[in-house]
Amino acid sequence: MEGDPSWAGPLAGEALRLKVFHVLEPEIKDQIPPDVYEEELMLLELAVGDEKIGKTIAMMEGFRAQPVAG
């Protein structure tokens, strides 16, 4: 998929080739101050559950592993 997935914005079909991370990936989560994480993300993490988070992280890693076409 390239560009705006809604195909409604000015970036529709335009690949920006940015690395994408999920906020609950350990590399990102560890950078969030504990008080902010507790207030803003802890309920999300509990609601989503470890299995779905693991699947999402695996999917994101798969996207990042794909070669960037130039």
So what's the pLDDT on residue 3?
65
pTM: 0.59
* Average pLDDT of the segment spanning 3-20: 76
pLDDT in tens, 28-50: 999 999 999 999 999 999 999 98
Three-class secondary structure assignment of 25-68: CHHHHCCCCHHHHHHHCHHHHHHHCHHHHHHHHHHHHHHHHCCC
So what's the pLDDT on residue 39?
95
Query: So where are the chain's domains?
Result: 26-65
